[in-house]
Amino acid sequence: MKTPEKFALKVKDKIRAQINSATSNKHLYSQKDFLYERKGPWPQPSPVHPWGESPAVIHVPFREVADWWLWIGLRYMATLPLAPFYYLKAKIIPGLKEVTNKEFEDLLNYSMMSKFLSDQLDEEDWRVFSDYNKDEREWFIVDLDAVRVVKTFPGIYASASKTLLYKEGERFIVQAIYIKDTETVFDISEDSDAWELAKYFVLQGGALCATLVVHPLLHFPFDSINAISKTSLPKEHVLFKLLSPHFRFTLPLENAVLNYKSSLLQEKWWMVYAPYPGGPAGLRDLLVEGYKGIKGNLSYPPFSYSLNSPGVEGKYGIYLKSYYEVFYKFVSEILSDVEDGDFWITKWSDYCHQHVNDFPKGNDIFKGDTLVRVVTTYLFTVTVAHATDHYNYGILDKRQVPLRLRQAPPKKGDKMMKRSKLVKAWDQMKYSMADNLFFSPTTVTKLIDANYKFKCPRRRKAVITFKKDLIDLDRKLKKEGIEYMPLNKISASIQF
């Protein structure tokens, strides 16, 4: 190429960089310095619930979709032939298992369902449990009121419920259950069929709210940050390098769940992997209840981007907080020399603020340790918090925690049908398939293997220290009996 032509290209590139960037030389980047040349994914209102769900990313780059199909989508297809096996298994071992009072209490204390424990009892809670003295004990509630929006199929039942507990030492003791559909309160002292059935309705509600109310808050609001970061941050920027190992597989997965006609949320009768008790309208309303909150219900505030570790009671909360602190230390070290007012971080923060509730604005991101907490929350959520929910739910006995029930909610004196009849083989086959495909984790890329591609020796050393801290924490939690998920199974991103 002739010299004048080379010179002309350089001039054009400089002009293009000036137009597409800041006016200062410090910020000069051309389009090629961005992952998708600034034409990448971006959040928009959700097509299904534009005003009720978090913004969605529906225009996903082809190479990400292809990557997802190669590593995840094909596994889904290969798993479908297992449906007859699961149906036969459900025929041989039919129905549900007994849930003792201790097992019921353990599930509310130690599983991911402990996320529902709250000491914020509102007026409705005390109206329901008016026979109990407010001041007698340190009361807690497991409020599963969101279930009221589910529109069940004929012959299948679900009910909103509230479980009253009190704290004794480090344990939460079950006192009573309220079943909303029959407006009946059952005290634990009532050893009856109706009490046994009420426990199943609570656990069914817990399963519904776990998978479609609270857990989605670890998924979909964070998609906006994923997309905005890919499109607005230069590839060589420290923030992009810190975030990008935690992006893979997420956007195609989320789009498939929310918008594919084959999604389990469509809950068509023929879908061998769709286990829910009702159709898509009610199921999507559960997502809305989680994101928008329930007015007047203190257990369901609207989604807000948190700058702290999750406020979860019990051992599950201790586990989550311990990991959050390790991430916080790592992010603090990586971003320690980022200048206040960094142009790209300011723009990134302003973009995210437009799409993520309570995400700090650009002029607030550098106040105190706000930037560190913002990034810590993202990394921690899409790795440990998300993966551990899946792992813990995956190991629950699905014959004790049903998603469908074939008997109506109980009233006082009701007899429970045989446990073998409470669910059908078809119901359990669907549940087992969904568990294999979606609920239980199948990790492709691991957190411990994340490659941050830092060139700076100090940051490379920080990565080594971070991974050592993760390993040390995993060992410590295991010794203390609160290793909710082995470190070597925690995924690097939302990929299931």
Is there a domain that residue 328 lies in? Answer: yes
Is there a domain that residue 4 lies in? Answer: no
φ, ψ (nearest 5 deg) of residue 444 = -100, -55
DSSP string, 446-458: BGGG------SHH
Structurally, the chain folds into a number of domains equal to 1
Listed residue (447, 35, 486, 410) closest to 198, CA to CA: 410
Q: Write the pLDDT tens digit of every residue in 419-445.
A: 999 999 999 999 999 999 999 999 999
Furthest-apart CA atoms within the chain: distance in Å: 94
Is there a domain that residue 494 lies in? Answer: no
Residue 389 CB: number of other CB atoms within 10 A? Answer: 24
Q: How many angstroms separate the Cα of 418 from the Cα of each of 4, 370, 376, 410?
A: 87, 55, 49, 14
- DSSP helix/strand/coil, 203: helix
Name 44's Cβ contacts closer than 8 Å, sequence gap at least 6. 55, 56, 57, 58, 59
- DSSP helix/strand/coil, 168: strand
What pLDDT does residue 30 have?
87
How many Å from the N-terminal Cα to the C-terminal Cα in the chain? 50
Is there a domain that residue 244 lies in? Answer: yes
Question: What are all long-range contacts of 321-324, with beta carbons under 8 Å and residues at least 24 apart?
Answer: 322/473, 322/476, 322/477, 323/380, 323/384, 323/385, 323/473, 324/376, 324/380, 324/384
Is there a domain that residue 22 lies in? Answer: no
| Domain containing residue 268: CATH number | 1.20.245.10
Read off the pTM: 0.93
Q: Which amino acid is at 351?
A: Y
Range of the domain at 136: 34-489
What pLDDT does residue 21 have?
44
Is there a domain that residue 7 lies in? Answer: no
What pLDDT does residue 24 have?
46
Q: How many angstroms separate the Cα of 249 from the Cα of each of 62, 212, 340, 421?
A: 12, 20, 32, 40
What pLDDT does residue 19 have?
46
Residues of the chain with pLDDT under 50: 16-24
- DSSP helix/strand/coil, 226: helix
What pLDDT does residue 6 have?
63
Is there a domain that residue 240 lies in? Answer: yes
Is there a domain that residue 83 lies in? Answer: yes
